[in-house]
A and B are shown apart, each in its own frame.
Chain A
Amino acid sequence: MDQANNYILEANNISKRYVGVQALSDVSVKIKKGEIKCLAGENGCGKSTFVKIIAGVVSPDSGEIKLNGQTVDLEKFSPIDAINMGIQVIYQDLSLFDHMTVAENIAMNRLVHQNKKFVSKKEVYNIAQTALDRIGVQMDLDAKVQAISIANRQLVAICRALALDAKLLFMDEPTTALTKKEVDRLLSIVLDLKAKGISIVFISHKLDEVLKIADTITVFRDGKLVGECDAGDIDQDKLAYMMTGRSVKYQKYERVNENNDPLIEVAGLSKQRYYDDIHMSVRRGDIIGLTGLLGSGRTELALSLFGLNKPDSGKIYIEGREAQINSPWDAMRFGIGLIPEDRSTQGLLLKKSVNDNIASAMLDKLKTPKGFVDIQKQEEMAEECVRRFGIKTHKIHTKVGTLSGGNQQKTVIAKWASTAPKLFVLDTPTVGVDIGSKAEIYDHIQNFAKNNMGVIMISDEVEEMVANCNRVIVMFDGRKLMEFDEEDMKDPDIARRISVAIEAGEQTVDTAGEVIGGVQ
């Protein structure tokens, strides 16, 4: 057989320069039919530019692209041509229509592409059902997309691509918002598609998933191809090294504080349907990992500490005194800061500047005697935060929405850190953050604890907790399932023990899968 025909895509010597930035230089990537390739690299490494070029959205300055062995005319290569050749991109935001049904969402792109003038409901259902059958999933075709879980939305987006006869599917960070179980289901569907001869390119930060499923891995750094290998030939450490160009070893945290009085103590806290009889104590200098499946009650518990989800019974003591936390303002007065799960909607004002975002949690400290905001003081403070937290932005007046995920998260952390809280609650602080920024964020968190703060860190990543936490609490179904103390955390086998504890919950929850779906 002709060698060229084994490849669905051959991109040779692609270069692209934007004003002032060499986004890609001389990159060559080949993808076989039925291959799962992972495209890895830090933010700004050129991954997205590469995807856009293949999808016909951006045209390269030089290079050659062959699809199915045929060279394409890059002058004329448009998104429509890319779709015709079977190239589909599922963007991170999925680009679904929330108020329309599952069936309409799956069928829409195909109908548009076929240049249909009229819609037949029967045709819409047929297209949707055929696509769902291909991945072997049952779904209510009439459900509005806004009413289904994120995991199912992801599947709708995949079906939409299949309905357009995708032969090469790009998926941008498809697992970010999914639970472990949902990720497993998604990965098994991806393997199924591979068996049907579809090539898939995964763009992901989550290295463990990448290694589990990919055949080959291609790593970009600063617009250059820095590595290409079979997934079997590499481990996480090596991959991280390739992506960042330096050895990323997270510093292991150990508490050294001598003050062992509890900073905050939670006694028998219960909230019907969410969590039950939780006891927990945080000292200054503690970094407590709070983990468990989605629906285990961990986020709900954290929100209660911040006054957003009033518990039914139980008590919270802050520095030995009973505290009533009924609103975020109460929480702030008691010195509690929360970094929420979804930074873009709950943690940041995306259309506002870095400057305004940092100031937003402490406007009262910036007040002039007449009650106005002291602009000069605000800017000085913002400048200092940008420096201290290494937020990469060329001015403090840049809109936060234009920064990368890692820098957005650093801005949220800077915002709360400048209020100098006593207790910092961080809900999955490194989701969607690249490895380099991750290490910096861990440094900041550990520094908070060294400087007498107490930290509760909700996390899904065992590795993250092993590196940063001196105690870990595993929750399941609203209850505290297990607690690992400081001695446990020194056990070299601790990562496996934590995973087992989380999985222990997972097995029981299999039968009650609805619990997970319901919370979405």
Chain B
Amino acid sequence: MHIRKMTGTEKFLLVLIVVYCIIVAAVNPAFLSWETLFDLIRSSAGNMILAMGVLVVMISGGIDVSFPAIALFGGYTATRLMMAWDINNMVFAFAVSIGIGLVLGLINALIIYLLKIEPFIVTLGTASIFHGLMTVLVGTTNIGASKLPTSYTSFGAAKLFSITDSYGAEIGVSVFIIPVILAIAVTWFMLYKTMIGRGIFAMGCSEESAKRAGFNNFHTRLVIYCFAGVLAGIMGIIYVANCNTCNPISLIGTEMSVIAAVVIGGAKMTGGQGTILGTFLGVLIMNLLNSTLVFLGFSASWNNFFIGIILLVSIGATSYQERMKNRKNFIYTE
């Protein structure tokens, strides 16, 4: 296979992650353990899946802020249905949540197409509508760990494989890694190996040119927003399993941090650009900070502060480089 060169952003993030890990390990050797790694895999699973959806949307030149509402809609509804119908089965949970994600994604795509409104405005609206609809139709009660179907608890605790650490405790890699790998693989295949994927990049470069090349932008958009919806549906179930509780107002408001991770990874709001590796590193760095700043003695309240700094520095650096390059060619964009 032809391996492409890493982009500047990817190199920057990789170096940042390595340097950060060295610093944390130097300050607190407890950081260097299998447990830290396994925890990181588990805690970043949900965001990783969402980020793949956001990446695809952003490459197409669009944006989606409704995915937390979709994930919550899917996760909460599936849980309530399982309780009401007494179905204690994860396959059912995923099927319901994915189905809901698909339908809600379809609604996003249709509204964008029919009303010709910018995706940001549309999904801002649908995010509220979806969440409102859910609370009205499905309910607002919080489902605590004791009431949650037991299959969630066992799914949340299931390990792909496990080892015994130096204290004799059994630790392992969560099965959450399976849907994550699947999501990444499918995203990669779709973006780089199918004509739909080429259409997504083409649309992000120029919608008009994509149309002239013969792409059906409406079809492309349907696939994009349905794909993001399906991924959100999957994440909804993983989220409930991870928290071991199902709260009908959680997740809402987390969209910006996922978008931030994707942007840190090199995707541009203007479309046509973005890589899977970059997005992966962006999510990784965000979750790494979230879970390991404590090793450095910072309280969790510092997370957002550092995320913001990384976002501005990494984007600022690439934009500065571009501006200098443009200036050499006498293109003044500021």
Interface residues of A, Cβ cutoff 8 Å to B: 79-80, 83, 91, 95-100, 104, 108-109, 111-113, 116-119, 121, 299-300, 303, 308-309, 345-346, 519-520
How distant is A57 from chain B, measured CB to nearest CB, in Å?
9
Shortest 8 CB-CB contacts between residues of A and residues of B? A99-B272, A97-B205, A95-B209, A112-B214, A109-B213, A95-B212, A116-B195, A99-B205
- Among residues 141 to 197 in chain B, which have CB atoms less than 8 Å away from a CB atom of chain A? 192-195, 197
Q: Residue of B at shortest CB range from A328?
A: B332
Q: Residue of B at shortest CB range from A99?
A: B272
Report Cα–Cα, A112/B329, bound state, in Å: 34
A309 touches B330 (CB 8 A): yes
* B88, CB-defined interface residue at 8 Å: no
Cβ-defined partner of A98 (8 Å) among B205, B208, B210: B205
* A-side contacts of B214, CB under 8 Å: 79-80, 83, 109, 112-113
Q: Residue of A at shortest CB range from B213?
A: A109
Interface of B is mostly: helix
* B273, CB-defined interface residue at 8 Å: yes
How distant is B172 from chain A, measured CB to nearest CB, in Å?
37
A112 touches B330 (CB 8 A): no
Q: Residue of A at shortest CB range from B272?
A: A99
Cβ-defined partner of B272 (8 Å) among A95, A98, A113, A309: A98
Report Cα–Cα, A116/B193, bound state, in Å: 11
9 contacts between A and B (CB under 8 A): A79-B214, A95-B206, A95-B213, A100-B272, A109-B213, A117-B194, A119-B192, A119-B193, A519-B329
* B278, CB-defined interface residue at 8 Å: no
Cβ-defined partner of A100 (8 Å) among B2, B202, B332: B202
Cβ-defined partner of A308 (8 Å) among B194, B204, B332: B332
- Assuming A109-B213, A117-B195, A118-B195, what are 17 further A-B pairs, CB within 8 angstroms? A91-B212, A97-B209, A97-B210, A100-B201, A100-B202, A100-B205, A104-B198, A109-B214, A111-B195, A112-B213, A113-B214, A118-B193, A118-B194, A119-B194, A299-B330, A309-B330, A520-B329
How distant is A299 from chain B, measured CB to nearest CB, in Å?
7
**B interface, size bucket:** 20 to 34
* B225, CB-defined interface residue at 8 Å: no
* B-side contacts of A112, CB under 8 Å: 195, 199, 213-215
* Most B Cβ at <10 Å: residue of A96, A112, A300, A345: A112
A99 touches B330 (CB 8 A): no
* B-side contacts of A303, CB under 8 Å: 330
B273 touches A99 (CB 8 A): yes
* A-side contacts of B195, CB under 8 Å: 111-112, 116-119
Report Cα–Cα, A20/B3, bound state, in Å: 57
* B-side contacts of A83, CB under 8 Å: 214
* A-side contacts of B198, CB under 8 Å: 104, 108, 111, 119
- Among residues 196 to 242 in chain B, which have CB atoms less than 8 Å away from a CB atom of chain A? 197-199, 201-202, 204-206, 208-210, 212-215
How distant is B333 from chain A, measured CB to nearest CB, in Å?
9
How distant is A172 from chain B, measured CB to nearest CB, in Å?
13
Report Cα–Cα, A487/B202, bound state, in Å: 56
* Most B Cβ at <10 Å: residue of A104, A118, A299: A118
Report Cα–Cα, A308/B331, bound state, in Å: 10
Q: Residue of A at shortest CB range from B4?
A: A142
How distant is A154 from chain B, measured CB to nearest CB, in Å?
15
Interface residues of B, Cβ cutoff 8 Å to A: 2, 192-195, 197-199, 201-202, 204-206, 208-210, 212-215, 272-273, 329-332
* A-side contacts of B329, CB under 8 Å: 519-520
Report Cα–Cα, A112/B199, bound state, in Å: 9
* B-side contacts of A299, CB under 8 Å: 330
* A-side contacts of B205, CB under 8 Å: 97-100
* B-side contacts of A113, CB under 8 Å: 214
* A-side contacts of B273, CB under 8 Å: 99
B201 touches A99 (CB 8 A): yes
Report Cα–Cα, A345/B272, bound state, in Å: 20
* A-side contacts of B204, CB under 8 Å: 99
Report Cα–Cα, A503/B204, bound state, in Å: 42
* A-side contacts of B331, CB under 8 Å: 345
A97 touches B206 (CB 8 A): yes
* B-side contacts of A108, CB under 8 Å: 198, 202, 213
* Given A117-B194, A309-B330: A97 touches B212 (CB 8 Å cut-off): no
Report Cα–Cα, A346/B332, bound state, in Å: 8
Report Cα–Cα, A118/B209, bound state, in Å: 20
* B-side contacts of A346, CB under 8 Å: 332
B2 touches A97 (CB 8 A): no
* B-side contacts of A119, CB under 8 Å: 192-195, 197-198
Report Cα–Cα, A99/B267, bound state, in Å: 12
* B-side contacts of A91, CB under 8 Å: 212
Report Cα–Cα, A79/B212, bound state, in Å: 9
How distant is B325 from chain A, measured CB to nearest CB, in Å?
10
* B-side contacts of A519, CB under 8 Å: 329
Report Cα–Cα, A121/B329, bound state, in Å: 32
* Most A Cβ at <10 Å: residue of B2, B204, B209, B329: B209
Report Cα–Cα, A437/B273, bound state, in Å: 40
Q: Residue of A at shortest CB range from B330?
A: A303
Q: Residue of A at shortest CB range from B208?
A: A95
* A-side contacts of B210, CB under 8 Å: 97
* A-side contacts of B199, CB under 8 Å: 112
* A-side contacts of B272, CB under 8 Å: 97-100
* B-side contacts of A79, CB under 8 Å: 214
How distant is B41 from chain A, measured CB to nearest CB, in Å?
31
Report Cα–Cα, A104/B206, bound state, in Å: 14
Q: Residue of B at shortest CB range from A300?
A: B330
* Given A97-B209, A112-B215: A121 touches B202 (CB 8 Å cut-off): no
Report Cα–Cα, A104/B2, bound state, in Å: 15
Report Cα–Cα, A299/B332, bound state, in Å: 14
* B-side contacts of A97, CB under 8 Å: 201-202, 205-206, 209-210, 272
How distant is B9 from chain A, measured CB to nearest CB, in Å?
14
B332 touches A96 (CB 8 A): no
Report Cα–Cα, A109/B195, bound state, in Å: 11
How distant is A516 from chain B, measured CB to nearest CB, in Å?
13
Report Cα–Cα, A303/B204, bound state, in Å: 33
* B-side contacts of A109, CB under 8 Å: 213-214
How distant is B211 from chain A, measured CB to nearest CB, in Å?
9
Report Cα–Cα, A309/B326, bound state, in Å: 13
* Most B Cβ at <10 Å: residue of A80, A99, A100, A520: A99
Q: Residue of A at shortest CB range from B201?
A: A100
Report Cα–Cα, A118/B331, bound state, in Å: 38
* B-side contacts of A80, CB under 8 Å: 214
How distant is A384 from chain B, measured CB to nearest CB, in Å?
30
* A-side contacts of B213, CB under 8 Å: 95, 108-109, 112
Report Cα–Cα, A97/B201, bound state, in Å: 8
* A-side contacts of B201, CB under 8 Å: 97, 99-100
Q: Residue of B at shortest CB range from A116?
A: B195
How distant is B142 from chain A, measured CB to nearest CB, in Å?
45
Report Cα–Cα, A80/B204, bound state, in Å: 23
How distant is A56 from chain B, measured CB to nearest CB, in Å?
12
How distant is A380 from chain B, measured CB to nearest CB, in Å?
32
* B-side contacts of A99, CB under 8 Å: 201, 204-205, 272-273
Q: Residue of B at shortest CB range from A117?
A: B195
Q: Residue of B at shortest CB range from A80?
A: B214
How distant is A475 from chain B, measured CB to nearest CB, in Å?
15
Report Cα–Cα, A97/B209, bound state, in Å: 7
Q: Residue of B at shortest CB range from A308?
A: B332
* A-side contacts of B194, CB under 8 Å: 117-119
